[in-house]
Amino acid sequence: MIKKHTILVVDDEELFIEYIQRLLSDENYNVITASSGQEGLDILQKQQVSMVISEYKIPLMNGLEFLEKVRIIYPDILTIMVTDHADIELAIKAINEAGVYKILLKSWDDIDFKNTIKRTMESLQMIKERDVLIRKVKTHEVTLKDLEKRYPGITKVEKDEDGCIVP
């Protein structure tokens, strides 16, 4: 069974939120919403979320400040910042300070937007799989060290010039 990812959309413009919900309604995502950064943080405390999409201009704190807090408190959540103007300084801050995965201009193509969300979720899945593999490798390394302590030389393998194991 495929897990249904939850996406938190943060914006104070109800029309934009409805638009995102409509765009993603035929995808396998659970879309929840907040109208401010603080409300978004409150939701994140209560609910597991895979991705946050936030407008830059939101009440109480801007999207950059909000996404920076998300990165610090919830480092496994991928974030996308949406803005209606291209600003290279904002983009650099978003990536370097808030760890934003992607920045989108509001004048996007709907298909491109859906593909961006899909690729972001695929990246999230690959990150999780990588982390599982790293944990397995570390576990195996500990096991091998323990075996080597109990049976010195057991992990040593001799090979001939062709790379074949020598008995």
Q: Tell me the helices (H) and strands (E) count for the chain, helix number first.
A: 5, 5
Angle, vertex CA 65, rays to CA 61 and CA 66, nearest 5: 75
**Predicted local confidence at residue 122, as pLDDT:** 87
Token pair of 133, please? 């593999």
> What would you report as the CA-atom Rg of the chain, rounded to the nearest whole angstrom?
22
pLDDT, tens digit (0-9, with 9 covering 90-100), for 143-163: 888 888 888 888 788 888 888
* Rounded-to-integer distance, Cα 127 and Cα 161, Å: 38
Domains of the chain: 5-127 (3.40.50.2300)
Please give the Cα distance from 92 to 99 (Å, whole number).
10
pTM of the model: 0.75
**What confidence score (pLDDT) does residue 3 get?**
65
